Structure 1
Amino acid sequence: MRADAGRKYRAYPTGGQGEVLTRWGHSARALWNVALEQRVYLWEQRRYTLRSVEQCKYLTAARADLDWIGDLPAQSGQQILRQLDRAYDNFWNPEHPARFPSRKKRGHRLSVPFPGQAVEVRKVNRKWAEVRLPKVGWLRFRLSRAIGGTIRNATVSRDGSGWHVSFGVHTGRKPDAPNGKPACGVDFGVAASAFVSTEATPRLMPPSLTANEKKRLKALEQRKARQITYAKKHQGGKYSRRLRTTIAQIARLTTLRANRRRDFTHKLTTDLAKNHGLIGIEDLRVRNMSKSAKGTAESPGKNVRAKAALNRSILDNTPGERRRRLEYKTRMYGSVLVAVPPFHTSQTCAACGLVDPESRKGCGRLFACTRCEHVDDADHNASVEIEARARRTGGSDINSTRSIPRVRVPAVGRRRMREAPRPAHAS
Structure 2
Amino acid sequence: MRANTAMKFRLHPDRMQAERLTSWSHTSRAVWNIALAQRIWAYRSAQRKAVRAVAQCAELTEARREHAWLRDLPAQCAQQVLQQLDAAYDNFWNPAHPARFPQFKKKSHRQKITFPGQAVRVHKVSRRMAQVKLPKIGWVRFRLSRPINGTVRNATVSRDGLGWHVTFGIHMPELEQPPVNTGMPIGVDVGIACSVFVSNEHHERQRPDTIVEDEQNRLRGLEQRKARQLTYAKKHNGGKYSNRLRKTIGQIAALKARQARRRADWNHKLTTDLTKNHGMIAVEDLKVRNMLRSAKGTIELPGANVAQKSGLNRRIADQGWHQIRRQLEYKTRRHGGVLVVVAAPGSSQTCNECGVRDPKSRHGCGRLFACTACGHTEHADRNAAHIILDRALCTAGWAGPAGSGSTRPQSTRSPQKGRGTLTGSRMREPTSSVTAT
TM-score by length of 1: 0.93
Contact 1:24 1:72 in 2 (8 A): yes
Which deviates the most, 61-70 or 328-337? Answer: 61-70
Identify the residue that residue 55 of structure 1 maps to in structure 2: 56
Identify the residue that residue 419 of structure 2 maps to in structure 1: 415
In 2: Cα distance, 1:245 partner to 1:297 partner: 36
TM-superposed deviation, 1:100? 0.8
Contact 1:385 1:414 in 2 (8 A): no
- Assess, with a 3 A threshold, how the Cα gap between structure 1 residues 300 and 225 changes in structure 2: closer, same or farther: farther
Please give the per-residue CA displacement for 1:241-295, whole angstroms capped at 9, x wherever unaligned: 0011001100100000100010011111111111111111001111111111034
Matches within 5 A, 1:107-122: 107-122=108-123
Identify the residue that residue 260 of structure 1 maps to in structure 2: 262
| 2:79 corresponds to 1:75 | no
Matches within 5 A, 1:22-421: 22-45=22-45, 46-174=47-175, 176-295=178-297, 301-396=303-398, 409-415=413-419
Number of corresponding residues: 410
Identify the residue that residue 421 of structure 1 maps to in structure 2: none
In 2: Cα distance, 1:166 partner to 1:57 partner: 28
| Amino acid aligned to 1:203 | R
Identify the residue that residue 404 of structure 2 maps to in structure 1: none
In 2: Cα distance, 1:233 partner to 1:299 partner: 32
In 1: Cα distance, 2:224 partner to 2:301 partner: 23
Note the residue ranges of structure 2 that are not aligned, 5 or more in a row: 401-410, 423-437
In 1: Cα distance, 2:310 partner to 2:178 partner: 42
| 2:19 corresponds to 1:11 | no
Report the 3-state secondary structure (helix = DSSP H, G, I; strand = E; otherwise coil) of the residue aligned with 1:292: coil
In 1: Cα distance, 2:418 partner to 2:124 partner: 56
TM-superposed deviation, 1:330? 0.2
- Assess, with a 3 A threshold, how the Cα gap between structure 1 residues 351 and 416 changes in structure 2: closer, same or farther: farther
Report the 3-state secondary structure (helix = DSSP H, G, I; strand = E; otherwise coil) of the residue aligned with 1:29: helix
| Amino acid aligned to 1:43 | Y
Contact 2:89 2:102 in 1 (8 A): yes
- Assess, with a 3 A threshold, how the Cα gap between structure 1 residues 60 and 195 changes in structure 2: closer, same or farther: same
TM-superposed deviation, 1:397? 8.8
Which deviates the most, 170-179 or 158-167? Answer: 170-179
| Amino acid aligned to 2:111 | L
TM-superposed deviation, 1:301? 2.8
In 1: Cα distance, 2:34 partner to 2:231 partner: 29
Which deviates the most, 409-418 or 305-314? Answer: 409-418
Contact 1:352 1:416 in 2 (8 A): no
TM-score by length of 2: 0.91
In 2: Cα distance, 1:417 partner to 1:71 partner: 62
Note the residue ranges of structure 1 that are not aligned, 5 or more in a row: 399-406, 419-427
Report the 3-state secondary structure (helix = DSSP H, G, I; strand = E; otherwise coil) of the residue aligned with 2:318: helix
Contact 2:394 2:415 in 1 (8 A): no
Contact 1:351 1:416 in 2 (8 A): no
- Assess, with a 3 A threshold, how the Cα gap between structure 1 residues 290 and 178 changes in structure 2: closer, same or farther: same
TM-superposed deviation, 1:410? 4.4
TM-superposed deviation, 1:20? 0.5
Contact 1:343 1:408 in 2 (8 A): no
| Amino acid aligned to 2:7 | R
Please give the per-residue CA displacement for 1:3-34, whole angstroms capped at 9, x wherever unaligned: 00101100100111011001111111111111
TM-superposed deviation, 1:178? 2.2
TM-superposed deviation, 1:414? 3.1
TM-superposed deviation, 1:408? 7.8
Contact 1:63 1:69 in 2 (8 A): yes
Q: Percent identity?
A: 56
In 1: Cα distance, 2:333 partner to 2:73 partner: 38
TM-superposed deviation, 1:413? 4.3
TM-superposed deviation, 1:300? 5.0
Please give the per-residue CA displacement for 1:329-357, whole angstroms capped at 9, x wherever unaligned: 00000111000001100000001101111
> Considering only aligned residues, what root-mean-square deviation do their CA atoms show, in Å?
1.9
- Assess, with a 3 A threshold, how the Cα gap between structure 1 residues 84 and 365 changes in structure 2: closer, same or farther: same
Please give the per-residue CA displacement for 1:33-61, whole angstroms capped at 9, x wherever unaligned: 11111111111113111111110011111
In 2: Cα distance, 1:7 partner to 1:267 partner: 16
| Amino acid aligned to 1:25 | S
TM-superposed deviation, 1:364? 1.7
Contact 2:390 2:414 in 1 (8 A): no
- Assess, with a 3 A threshold, how the Cα gap between structure 1 residues 298 and 254 changes in structure 2: closer, same or farther: farther
Identify the residue that residue 424 of structure 1 maps to in structure 2: none
TM-superposed deviation, 1:363? 2.9
Report the 3-state secondary structure (helix = DSSP H, G, I; strand = E; otherwise coil) of the residue aligned with 1:362: coil
